[in-house]
Structure formats: C-alpha cells, structure tokens
Amino acid sequence: MDLTYKKKNIYSSVDAAERKRIFDYCDGYKTFLDNTKTERESVAHTVAMAKAAGYKPYALGNKINKGDKLYYNNRDKGLFLLRAGSADVAKNGVRILVAHIDSPRLDLKQVPLFEKSDIAFLKTHYYGGIKKYHWLTIPLALHGVVILKNGKKVNVSIGEDAEDPVFYITDLLPHLSQELNSKTIAEGFKAENLNLIVGGIPAPDEDKDAVKKGALALLNQKYGIIEEDFLSAELEAVPAVKAKDVGLDRAFIAAYGHDDSVCAYPEITATLETESDQTILTILADKEEIGSEGNTGMQCVLISDILDEIAKSYGVNPSVLRANSKCISADVTAAYDPAFATAFEENNVGLVSHGVTMNKFTGARGKSGSNDASAEYIGYLRGVFDKANVIWQTGELGRVDLGGGGTVAKYIAKNNIDTVDMGVPVLSMHAPYELVSKADVYSAHLAFSAFLK
C-alpha cells in the first residue's frame, strides 16, 4: 500500500483509444472557441446546442415539471440550463455548475471615433485584468451589437473571415525606445493609448476629419451606423486568431478566451449529455472579470429566484433545497510555468496534463475574499471522482502573499450552498492567446459529468 500522494500525468495514464477520445472531444471545443469570443456569442451558440438537445425556453413564474429541459436567457449575456430530475430535491437539492463566459478584452468607448495625423482611430477601455502591452501589434476583430437610432439591433463582426480587414494598435520601434525602456510597464504603456486603427483613406470632398468620415461612410454602408449610434453600442475588440493545436504531438491548444470557455464548454457538454435523475442547474455568467456585478453577473439575485421557482414547483421549502444543493464553481486556475517558477509553490499548483484542478480556496494573502470549501465537501467530491476514475488534482493561485484571485464561488456559497472552485490549469492566463492541455479539458468534462450523476 502506497502511503504517499503523487499527481498523475493523464497522457501517461491512458491508452491510445482514450487519447483519441480526448483529441476528438477537443476538436469540438476548438469549434466552440472560434464561435464564442464574446458573452453574447457564447449564449447564442449554447442556446442552439440546447435546442438541439430538446431544451425549451423558460419564463420566470412558470411551473417546472419533472423531466423538463429548460433554458433561461438572461439578456443575451447569461444563460441558465435547467433539467428537472426525478430525485427528491428536498433531500438531494440541486446539482449546480457555474462558469463565466466573459473574457478580458478591449471595449469601445461610447464616443470612440477620432482622427489624428490622417489616421482614424477607435478609443477603447480595457475590460478585466490585462497586461496592456500584450494588445499591441496583434490582429484584432470587432464583435458586438449596435442599437440604431430607430431601435433596430445590428450585430457586428469584423475581422474573423479570411477576407475581412482587422484592427491594430501600434507600438514604438526599438530604435526609439531608449526612454520607454527605462520606465516601468505601468508607466510605459498607457490605457488611453490603446487605440484601434480603423481607417486611412479620406472621404472625397471633405476638408475636416476626412479620414474619420471615410470610416463612418463604410460603417454606414455595411451596418447603417451613424456616429451617434456608438452611444447605444456594445462593441468589443478581441484577438482575430483561431484556436490552434500546439506542439508536434498536438497536446495543447492555444486560443483566446480559455478563461473561462475551457470550463464553460465541459459544463455544457456534461449537462447536455449526462443521464441523471438529479435536478441540474448549469449557469453561464457574465461580468466575472469585473467582479460579477450587474444583472448578468453572479451577484444578481436571479440565481435565488430560479432556485425559488424550482422549490415552489416541487413543493419543497426553498431553504431546505439550498442547504442540500451542491455546486462546482468552474473557473480556471494558474498552471505551473517553469519559466516563472518563483511565482508558484510547486507542491500546490496545477500541473498541465495532470487533470482538472480543485482550488479549496482562492482569495489573496490570508485567503481574503475567498470561499474556502469544507473538508467534508471535498471528501464527498473525492469519492465521486474516484468512483468515476477521474484524474484530478489540487492547486492554488500562486505562492502565498504574491497575488491571488477571485471567482464566483463566494456568491453561490452565500446562498447556503456547498461550493468549491474547480477548473482547468492555464498557461499565460489573461493573455490574448492562452494555452491549455487537451487532457485537462477532457478531464473537466469527465469530472463535471460524474458530479451531475
């Protein structure tokens, strides 16, 4: 009997058939990534998947019947998938999976368009935690919606098709960077300089702002947009790159938005494919990267409202339902990177290809701002995963006192629900092009499926 604990490399622990299942599953994940670069696109894509699996739209106040498969679309930016099971919810509660579908990006300001030195630019305001210099000199696409003056909603996507132009933020050439090189990163890269180049050809017969007017004319021709319409627009600049295999053996995937699509997709597939008599609630939430605020973030009372509707439909006390419910807050964690080894404590960090990673706590310094899951709940999940032969590991977000982070777990736990963080370890987290192991993506699917059973 081995008394020691050792993490397992999944690729060393599976046969060729299982490796093929991992790779085939991740082909579907790459397709998902390329079609869901914004929270609105994630909702639309997932609704289509849910409809194909027999899910129907739900309206608050409607009765929920055993056997129902329902979805609630929260303002096109958040989504609840509900499957009403036959098990006793007073005893078993609800099995809840939560992931977020927003990612760090650059949002356009409400009055974004200006011209300088015969170049037209769009001003941005960064969203979430980014390193500003990452966004210079990479191809960017523009996604989102514009509400025109007449009330019509127009969907915008420029930069993804092979024939589309892209957008671009400039950097200073190294020959002239001596002064810049002496500054700190915070001093050298200013948020107000993250301006997208949008045009360079002057409109004919215009004396002032001719290039800006030329860009506006093109937008008006394609989308019917006038400059005032930016006031009622949500337009996001995201990397104009596709998900790609990395390495000669194709063990990894590089893509924009692994945080947190790499947890959302396994949640979705587990929910749609797993046979279970449990009542299941899977939540895709917005606004996690900026504190889960607003009516599409996890601090909104909507989750309480929907749990109340379930309790009412089953004729049980909502307090009892909450107390017996269980949740996995599926969010990414930092993967150990040997290039930056001093940022981690090697025994307590997620290793790539060693499985989906459970973070008992997140927070910062003295676990500040963290949900800290109980030993009893982690013991319960150990039994679930061991029974299903899921390879998983534990970790934390960097060494003590260095940093830390937050997730939506604490907002779920406030409803008196046992909750723990669990997600895929990511290299280069919050960069425009992040890296994950295919083995860890599939491990998350297996873990979430076992939890729902």
CB neighbours of residue 402 within 10 Å: 13
Q: In tens digits, what is the pLDDT along the chain, a chain of 453 residues?
A: 789 999 999 999 999 999 999 999 999 999 999 999 999 999 999 999 999 999 999 999 999 999 999 999 999 999 999 999 999 999 999 999 999 999 999 999 999 999 999 999 999 999 999 999 999 999 999 999 999 999 999 999 999 999 999 999 999 999 999 999 999 988 999 999 999 999 999 999 888 999 999 999 999 999 999 999 999 999 999 999 999 999 999 999 999 999 999 999 999 999 999 999 999 999 999 999 999 999 999 999 999 999 999 999 999 999 999 999 999 999 999 999 999 999 999 999 999 999 999 999 998 888 988 899 999 999 999 999 999 999 999 999 889 988 788 899 999 999 999 999 999 999 999 999 999 999 999 999 999 999 999
The backbone torsions φ and ψ at residue 301, rounded to the nearest 5 degrees and listed phi first, read: -75, 0
d(CA 264, CA 99): 5
Structure tokens at 276: 């279970």
Element (H, E) at 358: strand 356-359
Return the residue matching tokens 């046979």: 275
Can you tell me the distance from the alpha carbon of 122 to that of 131, in angstroms, rounded to the nearest whole number? 19
Mapping DSSP to helix (H, G, I), strand (E, B) and coil, where does residue 135 land?
helix
Question: How far out from the chain centre does Cα 38 lie?
Answer: 9
Annotate 169-236 with DSSP letters as a single string: -----GGG-HHHHTS-HHHHS-GGG--EEEE--PPTT-SSSHHHHHHHHHHHHHH---GGGGGGEEEE
In the chain, % helix, strand, coil (3-state, to 5) comes to 35, 25, 40
In this prediction the pTM is 0.96
